[in-house]
Structures are given as structure tokens and as C-alpha cells.
Structure 1
Amino acid sequence: MSKSWKLALASVAVTATVAACGTPGGAGDSGAAGGGEDEGPIKVGLVYSKSGPLATYGAQYKSAFEVGLDHATDGTGEVDGRKIEILEKDDAGDPSKAVAAATDLIGQDTKILAGSTASGVALQVAPLAKDNKVLFISGPAAVDGITGANDYTFRSGRQTYQDVATAGTMVGDVKGKKITVLAQDSAFGKANIEAVKSTLGGKGAKVTAVEAPAGAKDFTPFATKITSQKPDLLYVAWAGENATSMYTTLSQQGVFDETKVVTGLDIKPTHNLFGEASTKIDFLSHFFAGAADNETYKALESGLDEKGEEIDLFSTDGFTAAQMVVQAVKEGGNDPDKMVEALEGWKFEGPKGDMEIRAEDHAMIQPMFTVSLKKEGKNFVPVPGETIDAADVAPPVAESK
């Protein structure tokens, strides 16, 4: 298994986040903020994982961003006659590299930064955006702390809270329900446990945890402990080459017969990793091929098809980021403060459905999905379940920082 989808499982398992209210007038109104270059190109810096452990995520984001920009500008790559100039930087998933790259781009008079495949990167770039008063649109990074980070920070994807809340919908009203988290005995695992405790425990669920060594070879003792707890829902947060062994043991020990097992559906190459348990797991999902059927989804699908590519987990993040860039420039020109006003409260149709950027903390309010897998030949493919209403999984308003 490649490192990219080992970490992919981790990101999703944690998980594993509008009428414009800005001042109308477009680019021509923002000459002062643009340093007298109100007729020149608008520079957008994409700082993302072109290489490194999350490169697969980064590639999905970047490709869909290009499709989204083409769609949102009607194929011109321009907004009100001004070219959107994309400047790429590879952070390799390293926060220090990301900060260096973002600093360099800001020095080149770049007013918009986007990307951030990794959560650690996003948390470092956000304060940089605030200090330099540039618009920052984080990408696949799911950490909750991006929401409400500061006035200049937004996100084009979902956040961890929305993942966990989606899992909770699979058992209805969670009040009084017993939920067990099976997680690795590591910082990653403990973060998952805390996320479930704060999100579902905060709604009245009784949350307990079973922690196993990340390199465990025999999962029988842990499966036995889970069975003895008789949970209504088992939330699995696991990453690594032993994932197939872990799920096989859960199946053999009858865990699937006693409780609902939920985890996050990751990118396509991981769909065969669950072994014989593949068709028994209930998956929560941020996005997948077939998740929606609106005109924006079709535009994304068509644009990727022209590139010889297919929709996957983080395609929506890239496409939506491009939509946000165009909206920001259309209403704010090259003035980041006006761009912020243009995005706050904006409602629009994204590839996954109706989206809203909550004005109070810039949370991306969006639908989520449940999904199952079915076997087709040698592969497992997603079967859409329920579309979860955005309001039902909306995170609480983050306190301003």
C-alpha cells in the first residue's frame, strides 16, 4: 500500500471542511488595494501537496481546481477581463515548506492563497494570511481549527466535525446510545477518540474507546472487548497495512453481527482494502463518484473526463475552491478585505449540492453522504446511501480567535 493512501485512510477515518454580501463593483473598484495594477492579472498561489505522502489528494485537488476555474469563468480564465494567474508551490505536506512558499508568494503580491492538503499545513498558513491580510482558502485539510481561525481564512472542503456527525446519523438520535471507537494507540487515534467524544458524546452518547497498537498483528483480543461492550455503533479510525487484517478479524469474531460498524470512505484505491468485510461496513463520505447529480457535478465530471480523469474524494474541494476564487475576485477585485466580504454568507451550488459559507466563522455548511460498497468483478464500487442535510451536520459556531 502506498503511503498516500495509508494516510488517506487516516484522514478520512478521523474524520482520516449565498447571495454575495460584498461590495459590488468588481475589479475596477479595487485599484488602490491592487497597488495601481487594477488592470493586471490576479495572482492565486496554490500551495498544496504536489509530492509527499498526500500527493494523491493534492493531485485530485489541483486537477479539479483547473476544471472549476474553467467552468466558473466560462472557459476564459478571466474575471471582468482580468486573467487569473495560477502560481503553484509544492509543500510536500511539510508546514515549514508551506510557510516558506506562502511567504514567497505574498512577496510577489499574491492576494489569494489556496490549497493546504494537510491539516498541519493549513494551521500554519492561516495565521500568515491574517498577518499579511491575504485571502486563504484551505483545501482538503479537515482539522476543525481552520474554521474560525481568523477573518481571512476560509475552507473549500469539509471538517472533522461533519465527518463524525455524519456517522452519528446512522444510529438516529444518539442520546443514550453506546458508541465505541476502535482506534490506534497513537496521537492520531487519540485525536479520533476525542473528536467522537466531543461531537457525539456532546449530544448524549456514551462513548468508550478500544485502543490497539498501530502495528498489531492479532486483533482478536480487541474484537472480543468490543463484542463485550455491545455498542450500538463501532466507529473505526484506522490507518495502515494491517487494516485488512483488522476488518477480517472483526468479521470473524462476529462484531458485524452485533453492531453497526462505521468508518470513512476514502479514495478509490482503498476500496479493496477491507477484505470480506467490505460489504458489511457503513461508510460516511465527503464525496465520491455518483454522490450528486446537479449541473455543477456534471461540469466537474465532464471536465475531468476531458483530462482522462475521474471524480474522487477531493475533487469537490478543488472545484469549490475555484468557484470561491472567482466569486472573491468578481466582487472584491484584488482587495482581500472586499474578497472576505464577498465570501461571507455566500450561497452557491457546488458539485456536492447546496453550499453556504457561514458568515460568523467561515464554516462551509454542506451536505454529507452515507455509502456502501458492492463487489463488481474484482473491485468494490460505492453505492449511494443517504444524502445528509447540511444543517444536520453543521458544526457549532467556532469562537473567534
Structure 2
Amino acid sequence: MPQPRRGVRRRVLSRLAATAVAAVLAATAAACSSPGSSDAGGSGGGSGGKDGDGEGGSVTVALITSTSGPLASYGEQYLRGFEAGLDYATDGTGEVDGIAIEVVKSDDAAEPDTAVALARQRIGEGARIIAGTVSSGVAVQLSPLAEQNQVLYISGPAATDAVTGSNDYTFRSGRQTYQDVVTAKEILGGQSEGKKVVVLAQDSAFGQANVAAVEGVLGAQGMEVASVLAPPSATDLTPSAAQVLAEDPDMVFVAWAGDTAQSMWTTLDQQGVLDAATVVTGLDLRASYPVFGKARDKVTLLAHYVPGATDTPEAQALQSYFDAQGWETDLFTPDGFNAAQMVVEAVRAGGADGDTQAMIDALEGFTFSGVKGENTVRAEDHALLQPMFQAAFESADDGALPTVVQTFDAAVVAPAPAAAEGS
């Protein structure tokens, strides 16, 4: 039996309100389109209810993520993973229990205002589920919006810990920053006590979450924690590298996202940061592998996902789907696949009416096999417990691929509920 959650009393009080909101949204929903998906800008709104024959019906899922801007590559990985996951979880039908899952895709360009406007539009058109976003800054804006409108929100690769435990309506399909940092702690073992770590990150919700997590995990082990936060738009990162060196760290924890990663790693190498301290970072997308390859002996890699490293039924299905499409799996492919599995479970429980409370109840405590292994939605705060990895490149060749050095069980790298709520 799940332990009582923070929001349980609020939820009891809001059941009647949720029913009323659902009725209003159903009344204003756009007409049903054929099963499948549409690009941003199309109507694409499902009825959120049953059709005229009293059978089937559809539930609209609004996928809001970045397909342009600095995080576009991450958004594409998520969308491809979702497509493969939906195919797998519905046996290629796009339906569950006769209910069509209508997917509407929208580009938030990693801009919170754009994402909020799109979410409001899709909710007005009848969407009962919002999913996606690779931007932490977007995720922290969509979460309260989901609560206000009493719709389900399943965040994508956005890693900020602030999403976990934010409200009863918000879930996540990927890992969070705390899990990254705990993985780093496990990799380093007892090497951290009494030493100094500098967090190098962008001055964004994602970067700030990493500083907080390092303070909460490594700082609690007796490490002195400092940070260097670079402007997200910066292209010349020499000043940031100089600030890191000036701190005289024993360890540098790098948390970076977006298309300036290659420039950042080149600068750190040129400025001697990679030789001056133990550098720990997360394995990034495939496009960054050549950069990691050159620094492979100087960087310790934690990994949210290593392409091709698992052999679960879901990993096999994913690879088969991607092979047929001519795609390659990447860092955030599992997040999209997980999201589709969670959407199907939610729609199965919520029915064609998109009963939000029923969807929430179905996902809380939900354990399922995913691309990475077994996932569990922690009931009390909706953290997604999942395995994490240490990675290394298999050779010194420029085209070398990363492999798994060790796998950390989901329970070992689970975020502490109190830390997630306070982040």
C-alpha cells in the first residue's frame, strides 16, 4: 500500500472540481481527427469522449517539446522514442481498449512562454494529457499549469528536481538531476570526502538544479562545493574555464545541455581543466561522442542511458522499430518510450472520458519494464526510479562507442523524497 502523499488531502477536496473542469473541457474540445499524430499548428484535437455510436472514442495527448532552438536534437530523440513506444505499447494500433490515442506535436523551442501558450491552446482543444519538454525551465512552468487545469502532465527529459513532488498531476518519464549526482557519488566511492568540487553548468533551471543536487549529495559527504554558472547563450567559454581553474578544485562536475557542448569541452581541454582535476559528467548525445573520445582518459562518465547497452523486450522492440526507420537510438530515446508506455497505462485507466483522477491513480506506484530496465513511479512524489550507468568508450578510435562499465540499481540511485521536494 503506498504511503500517504503530501497532496492527498488537497486531492480529496478537488475531486468534484476535477469533474467539473473535465466537463467544461469536453464541451469545448475540437472535433475528432483520424487516429495518429499531427504537427504543431494543426487542429488535431480529440473529442476526449466517445463517438456517436457509443464505442471507442479518443484521448488527445499534446506532445510539447523542442524541435527547434538549442535543445532541438534532444526533442527529436524524445519524439522518436515516443513514436516507437506508442507502437510497442499498443501493438501497432495506436489504441488501447478501443480508445484512439491522438497525438498532437508542438514545438516549444525551449521557451517557457511559448510552451505555456501551446499547453493552454491544447487543453482548450480537449487534450487530457500533456507530455514532453526537454527544457527544465519549461517543465517548471507546465507543472503548475497542469494542476490549475487538472490535466495529466508527464514531463520528458527535463532533469530539474523541482518537477518531482511538485503536485499530484505531474509525473516524469526520465531521470532527474539528483539521480545523476548520486550515480557520480557511487562511481567515486570514498574519494570525495574532504575535497572540493566545482559545478560547471549553465545559468538555467537545469544548471541551478545541478548545483543544488551536488550540494545536497556531495556536500553532505563533507565536500566543499563551489559553482561556475555560464550564461546559456555564451559561445566563448574561456572565462568560465578560467573561473573553474581559479577555484583550484579536486573535482569538476560538469552539467551541460545544448549545442554549445562541443565548444565547452574543447575549451576545458585547451585551458587545462581536464588535466587539473577529476572531471565527472554525464554521457551526452551521440553527436558529442567525438569530443568525449578525445577526452576519454580525462573524464569520468555517468550515464542516464547508453545506446544498445540493455536487452529488455522494450530495448529489442525499440531497436527493431528504429532499424526500420533508419534511426539511431540516443540519450533521451528511453524517455520518449517511457512516456508512451505511461500514456497508454493512463488512458487504459482513464477511459475515453480522460478521467484525470483515474489516470493519476493508475500511474502512482506503476512498475513497468522499459528500455533501460525496470521503472517504478514512486507513489508519494512521482519520481521515476530507474537504473543508471557508468560508461566508458570501448577504444581510442575516433569512432568508438561507449559501453557500460557498471549498472546501478534503481534503489541505489533513488532520489530522496525530501530533497526532491526542497529543490
Q: TM-score range by the shorter chain?
A: 0.7 to 0.9
SS at match of 1:293: coil
Kindly indicate whether residue 354 of structure 2 is the aligned counterpart of residue 337 of structure 1: no
Bigger drift between 362-371 and 187-196 goes to: 187-196
Task: Report the CA distance between 1:116 and its aligned residue.
Answer: 1.3
Instruction: Work out which of the residue numbers 127, 133, 143 in structure 2 matches 1:116.
Output: 133
SS at match of 2:157: coil
CA–CA distance in structure 2, aligned partners of residues 101 and 177 of structure 1: 48
1:138-178 alpha-carbon deviations (Å, 9 max, x no partner): 00111111101111100000001011111111121467342
CA–CA distance in structure 2, aligned partners of residues 160 and 43 of structure 1: 30
Kindly indicate whether residue 54 of structure 2 is the aligned counterpart of residue 37 of structure 1: no
Task: Report the CA distance between 1:180 and its aligned residue.
Answer: 1.6
CA–CA distance in structure 1, aligned partners of residues 127 and 64 of structure 2: 12
Equivalent residue letter for 2:329: I
Which residue in 1 is equivalent to 2:73? 56
Q: Is the 8 A contact 1:181 1:237 kept in 2?
A: no
Structure 1 residues 221, 275: CA separation in 2 closer, same or farther (over 3 Å shift)?
farther
CA–CA distance in structure 2, aligned partners of residues 282 and 313 of structure 1: 17
Which residue in 2 is equivalent to 1:363? 383
Which residue in 1 is equivalent to 2:304? 286
Which residue in 2 is equivalent to 1:10? none
Uncovered stretches (5+) of structure 2, i.e. residues with no partner: 3-18, 27-47, 51-55
Q: Is the 8 A contact 1:278 1:374 kept in 2?
A: no
1:233-265 alpha-carbon deviations (Å, 9 max, x no partner): 4423455514213124437x843xxx6431111
CA–CA distance in structure 2, aligned partners of residues 185 and 129 of structure 1: 27
Q: Is the 8 A contact 1:183 1:190 kept in 2?
A: no
Q: What is the aligned-residue identity percentage? A: 45
Which residue in 2 is equivalent to 1:181? 198
CA–CA distance in structure 2, aligned partners of residues 223 and 45 of structure 1: 41
Structure 1 residues 120, 254: CA separation in 2 closer, same or farther (over 3 Å shift)?
closer
CA–CA distance in structure 1, aligned partners of residues 241 and 350 of structure 2: 58
Equivalent residue letter for 1:367: P
Structure having greater relative contact order (Cα 8 Å, sep ≥ 6): 1
Task: Report the CA distance between 1:385 and its aligned residue.
Answer: 0.9
Task: Report the CA distance between 1:356 and its aligned residue.
Answer: 0.2
Which residue in 2 is equivalent to 1:65? 82
Correspondence 1:290-305 to 2 at 5 A: 290-305=308-323
CA–CA distance in structure 2, aligned partners of residues 218 and 132 of structure 1: 44
Kindly indicate whether residue 328 of structure 2 is the aligned counterpart of residue 313 of structure 1: no
Aligned residues: 365
Structure 1 residues 343, 174: CA separation in 2 closer, same or farther (over 3 Å shift)?
farther
Correspondence 1:2-401 to 2 at 5 A: 35=26, 37-38=49-50, 39-173=56-190, 176-183=193-200, 186=203, 192-202=210-220, 204-209=221-226, 211=228, 215-217=236-238, 231=250, 233-237=251-255, 240=261, 241-250=263-272, 254-255=275-276, 260-274=278-292, 276-333=294-351, 334-375=354-395, 377-397=397-417, 398-399=420-421
Q: CA RMSD in A?
A: 2.9
Task: Report the CA distance between 1:288 and its aligned residue.
Answer: 2.1
CA–CA distance in structure 1, aligned partners of residues 254 and 208 of structure 2: 12
Q: Is the 8 A contact 1:212 1:222 kept in 2?
A: no
Structure 1 residues 108, 223: CA separation in 2 closer, same or farther (over 3 Å shift)?
closer
CA–CA distance in structure 2, aligned partners of residues 120 and 52 of structure 1: 14
Equivalent residue letter for 2:197: T
CA–CA distance in structure 1, aligned partners of residues 349 and 94 of structure 2: 16
SS at match of 1:393: coil
1:322-351 alpha-carbon deviations (Å, 9 max, x no partner): 000000111221201100000000001010
TM-score under structure 1 length normalisation: 0.83
Structure 1 residues 301, 219: CA separation in 2 closer, same or farther (over 3 Å shift)?
same
Equivalent residue letter for 1:355: N
CA–CA distance in structure 2, aligned partners of residues 341 and 182 of structure 1: 38
Q: Is the 8 A contact 2:197 2:252 kept in 1?
A: yes
CA–CA distance in structure 2, aligned partners of residues 281 and 300 of structure 1: 29
Q: Is the 8 A contact 2:214 2:225 kept in 1?
A: no
Structure 1 residues 52, 369: CA separation in 2 closer, same or farther (over 3 Å shift)?
same
Uncovered stretches (5+) of structure 1, i.e. residues with no partner: 1-17, 20-29
Bigger drift between 172-181 and 158-167 goes to: 172-181
